[in-house]
Structure formats: C-alpha cells, structure tokens
Structure 1
Amino acid sequence: MKIKSLLAKPFASYIHSKIRKGMHTALADQDAILKELLKVGKNTEFGKDHQFGNINSYREYTQGVPIRDYEAFKPYINKVKEGRHNVLWKGKPIYFAKTSGTTSGVKYIPITNESIPNHINTARNALLCYMAETGNTAFADGKLIFLSGSPELERIGGIPTGRLSGIVNHHVPKYLRSNQLPSYETNCIEDWETKLDKIVEETINQDMTLISGIPPWVQMYFDRLQEKSGKRIKDLFPQFSVLVHGGVNFEPYRAKLFESIGQKIDAIETFPASEGFFAFQDTQTEEGLLLNTNSGIFFEFIPAGEIFNDNPTRLSLHDVKVGENYALIINNNAGLWSYNLGDTVKFVSTDPYRLVVTGRTKHFISAFGEHVIGEEVEHSLLKAAERNNVRITEFTVAPFIQQGEGKSYHEWFVEFENKPDNLEAFAQQVNENLRQKNIYYDDLIRGNILQPLKISVVRKNGFIDYMKSIGKLGGQNKVPRLSNDRAIANALQNWIES
C-alpha cells in the first residue's frame, strides 16, 4: 500500500464518522445556519433593504424576503461587479462563477471566503465516505482525471471570474496535484474537441484510477480512447475503479458507459452547482444523495406545482415529506437569499435526509396542461429501453402543436446506440409508461385531445453536432430533457434520420 492510500484510511474514517453524526443533527444545524446567515447579512445592503435585524424566525424571514431568481438578483450583482463592498455578503466575493443561464444569458454567481469550503470539502467528503464504506483507498495512488472547464480566469470588477470547475481546479490539494490529469495547459484549451484529443493523448498510457465528469462528456472521452486504441476502457486502465459523476441523471448513460468500460465499477453521484455543492452519494447501498445540511447553506423547499405562484408555500427542512416534488431554494454564505436554483428534488428518506434530483423548474412540457417533468420522461424511456434491450445515447422532448387538421402530440428526439426492432411498438411502450406516470397526460390521451407520442430518430452523434453548432460542446453544458417550445426541436431537424 502506498503512502496516499495509507494516510487516507484514518482520515476517511474520521470524516465518515463526523458525517454520520451530522445526520442526526440536520434540523438543528439548519436552524443554526439560518441564524448565522442573518447575523452576518444584517450589515449588508441586501440585509438592510430587507430588515434582517428584525427577523427572529424562519416564518418572519419568509414574510420579509421573497423568492428570487437570477434576474431579480441582477441589480445587487451589478453593484458587486462595480466594486461595491457589503452588498450581498460582507466584503467582496473572492470569485465570480460564470455560468450560462437559460433565460438570463451569462450569470455571475458570487463565491466568498466563507462559501469556497463548501465546494472543496464536499467533493472531498464524497470520496472519503466511499473510501470508509468500501475500503477502496488504492485509487488515491493512481492518476485522477476531472473533465472540467478551463482554469483560466478573467477579472470582472476586480474579481477573478471563470467556470466553477476551473475555479475549483485552483484549490485541488497539493498532495493530489501530482496525481491530477490533464495538464494545466491542456485544461486551458477552450475548444472541446481539441481539448479532448489532447486529454486522450496525455492519459491513454497512464494508470487512470478515478475519472470524473458529466456523463455525456465522459462517454465522449471513452469513445475517443476506444477509437485510438481499439481497446475497452478496463483494458486500457486496469486499475480504474471509481467513476464520479453529476450534472445530469446518470441512468440514461449508465448502460453505455459500463459497456464502454467493459465491466461495472463503483460510481459516486454528486449534486454540485455554481451556487453551492448541495448533496452527494454517501453510500453505495442506499438510494439518493445526502443533503449537505451543515455547510453554510440553508435550504428551502416549494411544492413544484407552486413555484410560479405569486405566494407559494415555503417549507424548511422540518416540513418536507418523502415522495413529493419540490423546487429547491437556497440561502448561502456567498450572499444568495431565497434564491430559486431552478432544480427540482424529491426526498427518498428523511432519516437521514437523502434526495434525488428530478428535473428543472423551467424544463417541462405543459403546452396542453399536462406538466410533464424530467423524471417522468426519463423513467418512461428507460423502462421501455430496458424491456427491449435498447441503449439510449441522448434524447429530448418537445410539444408539437398541430395548426391544421389532426391532433397535437409530444415529439421525442432520440439518438439510439442500438435501435429497437420495431420503433412504432417501442414508442407505444414509452407512451403507456408516461400515461402511468402522469395522470394529466393520461387524461389528455384518454380524452382524445392528444395523440400518442412520436419518436424522431436522431442520427449518430447528432446531439454532439447540435451542441457544437450552438457553441456548447463539452464542459458543464448539457442537453435539456424537456422544452415547452420548439426551439431545440426545430434546430435538431438538421440531424434527423431520413
């Protein structure tokens, strides 16, 4: 056993024990975090505007601080960008995480001295919990790759600014630097395909033990490795034992990723964003991700169906229930207050608090009142795929609103690894699965208002070519599962099989 894996054992045991204790103090920890956030925040411009000094309970907080998305935060963010101090949090942020918004264009998310440990330590804790549970520490001695954005930073209002993954790259502990790939120079390459070729060149002959990234881009990495070597990943990297992933639901990619590897290996799911690292898979034996209840973030939850209401029901962790779909709202020590993240979650356990990510509040179809969400389309497609031994590469769904004669329907754009023998029968199965999952969709089909869904087959690498065409290939970018309009659907027409 080498020195890094040897030293990791006691540290992993210590952190794992600490996290398990925290499972039993989650509610008290959340109450304490809100109190501390308000204590610091009352001296900021935002805190004075919202009279934080007079708030003594969560109920009073909900009455005084409305839910906001990034657009509503922009006036405060702009003041920070102008160099003002004590606007959303004490002092100035140490970074802006630059991210693409679906409606806001580029977003600048503040990261402070107080909030950066949440991003760094949570990633570490996910690996340490895995080590403590499985006893697998050997991967710490091999080469580790994190498929991420460029670590090069620009300055906005004097504040270093860049992609979150690039910012985090600057905080990789020194003891892991010698293990980390690709090189800094390669990570700085902006063009994804050029970067990917260079990553393959740097890693193909290395002892890779851990690979981390968003599943579709990890799959692209595996595809390039196989094209160049003619070998499966397990033959290239015999010691590869841990896959860390996040950003999208893993299930649509699981079968193809493991097929590329040549065997099933352990996977660790994470739930990070520029606004915070919210949850992580703390065990290989239970469903869901452990909510990060003691890391500078106070969580709120809104029943997903109410998120666009003027006065939605707001719940703290005290009041959540298993099985209900909630919009996730955060308050953190970077100065985001009742911030609508745009993600929806569902608790699978409240002892401890574990959840699954179910979709995006803005990614749904309700052109006809059905309000179909990401979790439902993923379930419906994957259930049919499993039944027919079909593997899915990528997919997205949009409404088709019939302007002339005939009925409207949902159009599914699917890129298959291997197509079903009978596409029409496969579409019928997906349709029935969705009817069972969503009663409103079932009512529309039953009432003869909608006709059953239709599948348009996207040619091989069609989604990659589409993402390339809009300048969003690689990095943290992902294809929305659902759209309530035809923008993506119309663009994909260039890659539909004839």
Structure 2
Amino acid sequence: MPFLNSIINWVNFKRIYQIDLFRKHPHDVQREVLFDLLKEARDTEWGKKYDFRSIQSESEFKKRLEIRNYEDFAPYIDRLRQGEKNLLWPGDIKWFAKSSGTTNDKSKFIPVSKQSLEDIHFRGIRDVFALYLKNNPGSGVLSGKSLTLGGSHRVNNFSNNSYFGDLSAILIENTPFWSDFYRTPSADVALIEEFEEKVEKIIEESLNENVTSLAGVPSWYLVLLKKVLAHTGKTNILEVWPELEVFIHGGVQFDPYREQYKKLIPSEEMNYMETYNASEGFFAIQDDPENDDLLLMLDYGIYYEFIPMENFYDDNPPALTLDEIELGKNYAMVISTNGGLWRYLIGDTVKFTNHKPYKIKITGRTKQFINAFGEELIVDNAEEALKLATSRTNSQIKEYSAGPVFMGDDQKGAHQWIIEFEKEPDDMDLFISVLDHSLKTLNSDYEAKRHKNLTLERPHLIKAQKGLFYEWMKQRGKVGGQNKIPRLANDRKYLDELIELQKRM
C-alpha cells in the first residue's frame, strides 16, 4: 500500500502540472481537443457524412454540423446497440449509460467509448483526488476507503455485443482490480438494483472499514447515513468513521442539504467538494475549498460551446466558444466528445463566474424551469430563494418540487410548491413571503409578472408529509444513485402525482 500511494502521489503531481497548463492556455487546449476529435473520427460514417477531413476552423465546424439533442442521435445509437461499428466514433462501442433524465420518463442510452471511459470519466475521478490532495497536503484520505453509493441498475445485455446500465455500474465493471484497496462496498453490493437492500448490505460491509471519504448524490446519501446511525445507535457519523474527512458530491444542489450534513457530521474539519459529472461526461470540479465555483476541465476529450439562454428559443441560436462567453450570463451547454456526441445539447445551463481560469456554476436545466407566464424561473433562482427563506425562518428543507397553477375563470396564475421540511418554519406565512420577495429580487421577469398580482399570485405552498418524495420516487422506479427529483416543471404532471399520492398516504 505505501508503494501504491507513492505512485499515486507522483501521478497526481504530474497531473496538477497539466491542469495548470489548460488554466493558462484554455483556448489553445480547446482548439486542440476539437481537431483531435475530428481527426480521430474522420473515417467514421459521421465523419465522412460531414467531411471532417476538410474542416479547418472552429467556425467551419459550427457551419457544417447543426446542434442536436438525444432524439436526433437515437437512430445511430440504436444501430450502435445492435453492434454496428464506426458510426459516431471509431471502433465498436460496447457500453451505454442509461439515463432517465429529470424532465421526462424516456430512458436515454448514452454511448460510452473506451476513450471516454479512460479520458473523461476515470480521469475526472482521478483529478478529484489530485486536486483535493493539492489543497490538503496533510490529508489521510488515501489511508482509508471511499464509500460510494452509486446507481441502481446493473449492467445488462442489449445483445451479445453491447451492455447498458447506470454510469456508476459501468465504471465499476471497468475499474482496475487495485481500486478495491480504496473503495467500499464490494462490486457485488454496489451493483444491487434494489436501493433499500443495497443500503443494508453497504452498512454490513462498511461499518468496520476505515472510511475516509464519501462519494455520491447528497439526497440519497442522507438516507444511507441516517440508516447507519439507526443501525449503530451512534449520535453522529464520526462516531462510526472517525477518520472521515471529505464528501465528494454532485448531481443536485448541495445547499438545501448543508445544514443536515453539519448535524450528521459535526466537525469544522469536514470537507465538501462538488463535482459536475453526468452520463455524457465529467465536466467540472471544485478546485478551491474556499469558493464553490467549479473549474471547467478542458483537456478531457470534450469540446465546449455555449448558447446564450436569451437566444435559446430562437431559430438557429448562436453557439459561442469559450473566448466569446460573458461572465454572469446563463448558457445552455453544447458538447462534442470522444464518445461520439457531436454538438450535443446536454440540457444543462451554466453561468461563468471567472475566465482566468474558466469557472462555472450550474444554474439548472433547459427543460427544468417554470415559464408558464413568461417568468423564466430557473433552478438557480429557486435554490437561492429557498436558501434565504429557510435562513429567515429557522427551517430546513429535505425535498421540494414546484410548477405552475394555470389561470382559470376565477384563478390567476401562480407557482405551487410542494415542500417536505426536515424542520418546519417558525412562521409559514413569513417563509412564503421571503420566498416570493427573494424570487422577485433574483428574477426581473418574475418580479414583472408579480407586479400588483396582475399575472401571478403569491406562491401557493403545500406541506408534504414525511417520506412523500421518497415514496413517489420509489413508485416511479427511480430510487437511488443517479435519479434526481425534478425541482421545477413547466406543467403540472409531477405536482398532480405528488398531491394525489399525499391524499393516499
């Protein structure tokens, strides 16, 4: 183990030098990534169709290929799943990450090539620890194990040629044997499909391990950690794993859960590190413990473009390269990758907070918003407003979802919020008022629609019963791992399902 740690530390040192290079020369690195991708894929069906060999500039790349969503790629992905080769990326693609998404129920199957496994996903995981150790040189994180709580879908066969499952399952299937020295639980337990069974097995396997780090989605980890305390009778997690020092999290906004984690892990020395990764790629990492902005990782085999959200619904909206972006604006992210996704609209929105180096915040989804009345409310607005409302009313939120109340004969428009509180507000009316006022402050379109209650009424709030969201996700077959509760929707589908379930509970 000491010898292995020495090798890891040497690799980390070398990698930090490479990260510093793309910090200093971001545009050169991104241009090199694009032309490496085009060169690698020039003899594929896609490369021949768009004549990748003749593309000489980033502007020509934009002209030649249009921006696409998953549905546009689906026919090619179906062919890949049946074993065809050299379609979007050279060679055969055996792995497909199943992604249910957050705004519709249709499963997506994202191709994961050998190159994207190694150069995007595994490199991203390694870089998390490289950056963490750079910021915490005295860390003992490598002296113990990382407790991982992944997805709930095993790898399954499409055919004899290809397999699908949660990205976390695919990573486990392809992880080198020596990673078992640093990870718990075992692969067999990590791949159990039934979430509640998996949690019980994780507890059995991991209680006696020296767990020094956690990695996963904050909402599902709360379930696990509370069950650990119930099982052991301990009052906090540090009594179970005293060497625990960092929680590497992603998938959902962490702020709504921060206070709960402080209670579960009551230590000022506990570190929290955010990542931005998805089935399509590993995009950004929090590289500064004092600042929760995320460093955009530019040398992973991902070429980035950004559509200004103010133009998103225009015909042929502009897609900007890094040197064209402006700080503080919302952008929809477009990626081209060594997994064979070309100018792919991933569905996430970000804003840049810095350009030396390039840092971002995740602000929401292109499809997860409320815009029933022209208010263009995004998840970032909602999270910030809820943070202020909970602070003012001494409350904590466990889960929430919101959507529109549509206008009727005697009904003005409104936003309806279903909130499951970990700790209820001292004053519910004040909570709603602060939420409303904060949204006005954060979003001028919302403020305009709320003016004198002409279009939008004050928010409507339904207090959810304990366990409502968990039961709802369970009934939808979306418990665990990479499944996320939809925060905002532009229709009432989720709201009506939750209200109906609450009546039956």
Query: Which residue pairs with 1:119 in the alignment?
Result: 121
Instruction: Return 5+ residue gaps in structure 2 as ranges.
Output: none
Distance 2:434 2:154 in 1: 47
Q: Does 1:321 align with 2:322?
A: no
Query: Which residue pairs with 1:131 in the alignment?
Result: 133
Distance 1:11 1:78 in 2: 38
Distance 2:258 2:470 in 1: 18
Deviation at 1:286, TM superposition (A): 3.0
State the secondary structure of the residue aligned to 2:115: coil
After TM superposition, the structure 1 stretch with the greater mean CA deviation from structure 2, 132-141 or 309-318, is: 132-141
1:157-199 CA-to-partner distances (Å, cap 9, x unmatched) read 4123221101111333433313321122222321111111111
Q: Is the 8 A contact 1:253 1:393 kept in 2?
A: yes
Query: Which residue pairs with 2:187 in the alignment?
Result: 184
1:316 to 1:367, Cα distance in 2 relative to 1, 3 A: same
Deviation at 1:109, TM superposition (A): 1.1
State the secondary structure of the residue aligned to 1:346: strand
1:477 to 1:492, Cα distance in 2 relative to 1, 3 A: same
Match of 1:428 among 415, 428, 433: 433
Distance 2:247 2:185 in 1: 16
Match of 1:492 among 487, 492, 498: 498
After TM superposition, the structure 1 stretch with the greater mean CA deviation from structure 2, 150-159 or 479-488, is: 150-159
Q: Is the 8 A contact 2:403 2:415 kept in 1?
A: yes
After TM superposition, the structure 1 stretch with the greater mean CA deviation from structure 2, 42-51 or 349-358, is: 42-51
Distance 2:84 2:248 in 1: 38
State the secondary structure of the residue aligned to 1:252: helix
Distance 2:450 2:151 in 1: 43
Q: Does 1:241 align with 2:245?
A: yes
Amino acid in structure 1 at the alignment position of 2:497: A
State the secondary structure of the residue aligned to 1:109: strand
1:243 to 1:434, Cα distance in 2 relative to 1, 3 A: same
Deviation at 1:96, TM superposition (A): 1.3
After TM superposition, the structure 1 stretch with the greater mean CA deviation from structure 2, 150-159 or 334-343, is: 150-159
1:127-166 CA-to-partner distances (Å, cap 9, x unmatched) read 1111112114312111221101257422324123221101
1:318 to 1:196, Cα distance in 2 relative to 1, 3 A: same
Deviation at 1:221, TM superposition (A): 0.7
After TM superposition, the structure 1 stretch with the greater mean CA deviation from structure 2, 102-111 or 231-240, is: 102-111
Deviation at 1:444, TM superposition (A): 1.0
Distance 1:496 1:18 in 2: 56
Q: Does 1:11 align with 2:11?
A: yes
Q: Is the 8 A contact 1:70 1:104 kept in 2?
A: no
Deviation at 1:4, TM superposition (A): 5.2
Deviation at 1:300, TM superposition (A): 0.6
Distance 2:201 2:315 in 1: 50
Amino acid in structure 1 at the alignment position of 2:97: A
Amino acid in structure 2 at the alignment position of 1:87: L
State the secondary structure of the residue aligned to 2:107: strand
Distance 1:123 1:282 in 2: 13
Match of 1:297 among 298, 302, 307: 302
Q: Is the 8 A contact 1:459 1:497 kept in 2?
A: no
Amino acid in structure 2 at the alignment position of 1:177: D
State the secondary structure of the residue aligned to 1:170: helix
Distance 2:111 2:47 in 1: 16
Distance 1:164 1:99 in 2: 8
TM-score (norm 2): 0.94
Q: Does 1:406 align with 2:406?
A: no
Q: Does 1:143 align with 2:145?
A: yes
1:21-70 CA-to-partner distances (Å, cap 9, x unmatched) read 22112110100111121222222111222232332211111112111100
Query: Which residue pairs with 1:271 in the alignment?
Result: 276
Deviation at 1:404, TM superposition (A): 3.1
1:83 to 1:172, Cα distance in 2 relative to 1, 3 A: closer
Q: Is the 8 A contact 2:34 2:303 kept in 1?
A: yes
1:55 to 1:35, Cα distance in 2 relative to 1, 3 A: same
Deviation at 1:262, TM superposition (A): 2.1
Distance 2:104 2:228 in 1: 36
Distance 1:154 1:9 in 2: 36
Query: Which residue pairs with 1:26 in the alignment?
Result: 26
Deviation at 1:496, TM superposition (A): 6.9
Query: Which residue pairs with 1:364 in the alignment?
Result: 369
Query: Which residue pairs with 2:111 in the alignment?
Result: 110
Distance 1:347 1:391 in 2: 29
Amino acid in structure 2 at the alignment position of 1:474: G
Query: Which residue pairs with 1:85 in the alignment?
Result: 85
After TM superposition, the structure 1 stretch with the greater mean CA deviation from structure 2, 129-138 or 374-383, is: 129-138
Query: Which residue pairs with 1:195 in the alignment?
Result: 198
Deviation at 1:121, TM superposition (A): 1.1
Distance 1:348 1:30 in 2: 19
1:491 to 1:104, Cα distance in 2 relative to 1, 3 A: closer
1:435 to 1:338, Cα distance in 2 relative to 1, 3 A: same
Distance 1:274 1:136 in 2: 33
Deviation at 1:16, TM superposition (A): 1.9
Query: Which residue pairs with 2:355 in the alignment?
Result: 350
User: What are the equivalent positions in structure 2 for 1:466-481 lying under 5 Å apart?
Assistant: 466-481=472-487
Distance 1:421 1:137 in 2: 40
List, as ranges, runs of 4+ consecutive aligned residues in structure 1 with deviation greater than 4 Å: 1-8
Query: Which residue pairs with 1:453 in the alignment?
Result: 459
Query: Which residue pairs with 1:256 in the alignment?
Result: 260
1:38 to 1:445, Cα distance in 2 relative to 1, 3 A: same
**Percent identity at matched positions?**
35
1:449-471 CA-to-partner distances (Å, cap 9, x unmatched) read 11111211111121111111111
Q: Does 1:380 align with 2:385?
A: yes
TM-score (norm 1): 0.96
Distance 2:483 2:355 in 1: 31
Distance 2:379 2:475 in 1: 24
Query: Which residue pairs with 1:212 in the alignment?
Result: 215
Q: Is the 8 A contact 1:9 1:132 kept in 2?
A: no
Q: Is the 8 A contact 2:146 2:214 kept in 1?
A: yes
Q: Is the 8 A contact 1:4 1:141 kept in 2?
A: no
State the secondary structure of the residue aligned to 1:14: helix
Q: Is the 8 A contact 2:152 2:480 kept in 1?
A: no
Q: Does 1:163 align with 2:157?
A: no
State the secondary structure of the residue aligned to 1:382: helix
Distance 2:129 2:504 in 1: 42
1:418 to 1:497, Cα distance in 2 relative to 1, 3 A: farther
Deviation at 1:292, TM superposition (A): 1.2
Instruction: Return 5+ residue gaps in structure 1 as ranges.
Output: none
Q: Does 1:444 align with 2:449?
A: yes
Distance 2:372 2:223 in 1: 34
Provide the aligned C-alpha RMSD in A: 1.9
